Structure 1
Amino acid sequence: MEALKLETTVSMFAAQLSELTDIHDVEPLNDSDYNCLAEVRDVLKKHGRQERFGVTLLHKHFDLASDEVLVEYTDVASRVQTIKPEKKGSALLNTIETSWVLGDGERIAMTICNTRCWKDVHGNHNSDHV
C-alpha cells in the first residue's frame, strides 16, 4: 500500500485560520466528541505515534493577514511560551511546524516553532528555542 503524501500549502495558511471559529464561540469538549477522539487515539496507537501527535481544539483569537503565520517562541529559562504573528519570509527560517489543520488531502500548517541552530567549537550541531 502506498503511503499518503500530504503537501504543505503555506499560501492557504492565513485563509484557513480566518475560517476557524473565534475562541469565544467555540463549543467546549463534550460527550459527542469522545467517540471521535477514541478513534483518533486508536489510529495513532496503530501507527505507534501516540507519543508524537495529539489533538487540539481548533480556534482563533484574531485574523491573520495573508502574508502572516503564527510563530511560537519559548523562553526556557523563564518558562514562558508566546505565539505571535510574523511575516512569512523571515518567520519561516529555522522553524518546525508543530500543529496543522488536516483537510481533504492536504496539510495546512497552523503554528510553527522558531528554533535557532548553531555549531559549537567542536563542530557539533546544536539547536535551541528562541
Structure 2
Amino acid sequence: MSTVVLDVMQWSQLDHIADVRPIDDSDAECLEEIRLVLAKHKCLDRFGVTLLHSHFDVADDEMMLETTDLERREHLVRPVKRSWLQDRGVTAQTTVVSFDAHGYNQNCGCDPRASGHHHK
C-alpha cells in the first residue's frame, strides 16, 4: 500500500486562463487513456479532469478554498490565508490536484465542516 503525500501547489504557478489552450478534440487520446485508468481502478464516479489555470496570483501564504451557499445555490472559490484555516482548525478536503515529476499537488480544497461541507 502506498502513502499519498499532498504538497500544496500555488495557483500562481499556473498559466492565466487566457494563455491556456482550451480542451478540444486533440486531447481525446489523452482523456481516453485517463478514462481507462480510472475504469481499471473503479474510480470513474470518483475522479475527473480539470483544465489547470489561474485568474490571478495567489500568495505563498494562501490557498484556494471552496465554499458553498446552499440557499443561494452558489459555489465560491477564493484565496484564503493558510493561517485562517489553521486558526479555525480547518483541514481543506483536496478537490483539485495537478501532477509533476514528483507526484501530485493540492491545487484547491473544500472547507469540510460538521456535515461534510461548510455551507454559509
The two structures have a TM-score, normalised by structure 1, of: 0.81
**How many percent of aligned residue pairs carry the same amino acid?**
36
Q: Does 1:97 align with 2:98?
A: no
Q: Which amino acid aligns with 2:67?
A: Y
1-structure distance, mates of 2:50, 2:16 = 14
- 8 Å Cα contact 2:68-2:76 kept in structure 1: yes
Q: Which structure has more strand as a fraction of its residues?
A: 1
**SS of alignment partner, residue 66 of structure 1:** coil
Could you say what the CA RMSD is over the residues aligned between the two structures, in angstroms? 1.6
Structure 1, residues 35-90: CA drift from partner, whole Å, max 9, x if none? 00000000000000000000001100011110000000101121100110000122
Deviation at 1:94, TM superposition (A): 4.1
Q: Which runs of 4+ in 1 moved over 4 A?
A: none
Deviation at 1:4, TM superposition (A): 4.4
What is the aligned length? 116
* Paired residue type of 1:103: D
State the TM-score, normalized to the length of structure 2: 0.87
Contact 1:100–1:110 (CA under 8 A) maintained in structure 2: yes
